[in-house]
Amino acid sequence: MTKSIDSPTGRLLAGLAVTLAAVGVFSFYALRQIRGLEDLQTRTVDRNRKDSLQLLRIENDLNGLGIAMRDMLYGDDPYPLAAWRKQFESKREDLEDALRLESQLAPGALESRRQHYLADSLNQFWTSAGRMFEVAAKGQEAAARDIIRTSLEAQQAALTGIVARLLVQNNEAEQEAASRIQGIYLGVARNVYLFLAAVLLAIFGTSLYLIHSNRRLFQHMEVVSEHRNDLARKLIAVQEEMLHSLSRELHDEFGQVLTAIGAMLRRAEKRLPADSPFCVDLREVREVAQVTLEKTRNLSQLMHPSILDDGGLEKAIDWYLPVFEKQTGITVRYEKKGSGPEIKDRVAIHVYRVLQEALNNLARHSGSPLAIVRLDFPPGRLRLEVEDRGKGIPESRNGGSRRGIGMTAMRERAELLEGTFQVSRADEGGTLVRMDVPLTETYEQ
């Protein structure tokens, strides 16, 4: 008993489900990491960069004030100190706007007390500057310059230091964010490599499993095919033995009985007077026995022609084609090319049965008034073709040719002889049946 093979479909579907689930989990993880990276870049890196630009703007304004105070102290300009008020007010407006924007963009890591300290220091600077301009407006230039030396320059230097520290702090925060971003990139890259390795291992394992399953399946199919071929050989052998036995029984037993009956009727007819009414009855009975004898012999020859065993395949074909033409009324054109050895035994019977089945199918289905039979002997081979001018190969609903038991039997006989069998549409319409088998020394015996 042939062992059944379990289908790998269930395991493959389970593996596919696990793989899809893994892909989904990894995709969710990767998207989450990417969103965190985007948030980190937006929240820290971009805000730090914009905040640093405002700090640079503040530092630039403070440096501008420092240069103005140096010119006020040591410059050769004949202008009074009160003339610098307008420039100081312009710088103050720009500094206040930059400080407002910077307070909005300052990263969360920056302490709020530093913001208040910077704002308080600026307020003190502007208070001192206002007092300096009030003194200068009273014409006390020397006192006003003393305020610049003792108070404003120190406050301006302190403010510049505060801004410098804030820039350093921003730079450190940006470096830390860059380090975290790099860590995220490395983590995602590592996980991608791990995921790809897992997927490759899964594909490798699935491929090995498929190869193993296919190998088992093909081995099972090979065993089933061998069993089918053995069964086909045995069925065909049994069929031929049965037909041969029936043919011999019809020819030997029934044929002899009918011959004896005809002889006895002939002797009885001779013993009766010529004018006896029984002579007519005996003559009719003898004619019926003779017709039955001829039909029995024809049936015996159709089952297994004795000429196939005695004269070989070619003589059997020469005998069968006129019989087929007479029985069906279909004109048969026989074309023989080349000459081969005397073919008997199993090659002869298989080729003869294919010819017989092909012509029977032609008579039943094609509606052709003409049958063309070709027998060719290429070197070391035998080729048989049966062609008609009928309706052609009928198509089934699914688009394929409908094949009955006879067609399957013809194909099996060709495979038993290690040959090929093909049914196709003829060039001039109709159907072409072709059988091509090798002629080895064993077959030719």
- pLDDT one-digit tens code per residue, 168-180: 887 887 787 777 7
User: Has this prediction a pTM greater than 0.75?
Assistant: no
- Both tokens assigned to 383: 């080729």
Q: What is the pLDDT of residues 45-59, one digit of tens each?
A: 777 788 888 888 888
pLDDT at 240: 63
Average pLDDT over residues 216-234: 76
Q: Which pLDDT score, from 0 to 100, does residue 401 have?
A: 45
Residue 437's pLDDT is 92
Beta-ladder partners of 422: 434
Tell me how far apart the alpha carbons of residues 377 and 355 are, in angstroms, rounded to a whole number: 16
Residue 77's pLDDT band (cuts 50, 70, 90) = low
Distance, CA of 321 to CA of 306 (rounded, Å): 15
What average pLDDT does range 408-430 have in this prediction?
85
Query: Does residue 11 register a pLDDT over 50?
Result: yes
Query: Of 100, 163, 151, whose CA–CA distance to 126 is shortest?
Result: 151
What is the mean predicted confidence (pLDDT) over 26-31? 72
Is the pLDDT confidence value at 120 over 90?
A: no
Kindly report the average pLDDT of the chain as a whole number: 78
Chain position carrying tokens 């008993």: 1
pLDDT at 244 over 70: no
- Residue 109 pLDDT exceeds 70: no
Q: Which residue would you say has higher pLDDT here, 75 or 223?
A: 223
Per-residue pLDDT, averaged over 172-192, amounts to 77
Quote the pLDDT of residue 443: 41
**CB 389, CB 370: distance < 8 Å:** yes
Residue 233 has pLDDT above 50, yes or no: yes
pLDDT of 29 strictly over 60: yes
Q: Please report, rounded to a whole number, the percentage of residues in the chain having pLDDT higher than 70.
A: 81
Mean pLDDT computed over 341-368: 85
Residue 394 pLDDT more than 70? Answer: no
Q: What is the average pLDDT across 224-242?
A: 70
**336 pLDDT higher than 80:** yes
Answer yes or no: are the C-beta atoms of 156 and 65 closer than 8 Å. Answer: yes
Does an H or E element contain 181, and which? Answer: helix 153-249
Taking the C-alpha atoms of residue 352 and residue 373, their distance in angstroms, rounded to an integer, is 12
CATH class for the domain made up of 307-444:
alpha beta
- pLDDT band per the 50, 70, 90 thresholds, residue 186: confident
The stretch 287-299 carries a mean pLDDT of 74
Q: Measuring CA to CA, how many Å separate 435 from each of 130, 170, 211, 271, 374? A: 119, 90, 36, 58, 10
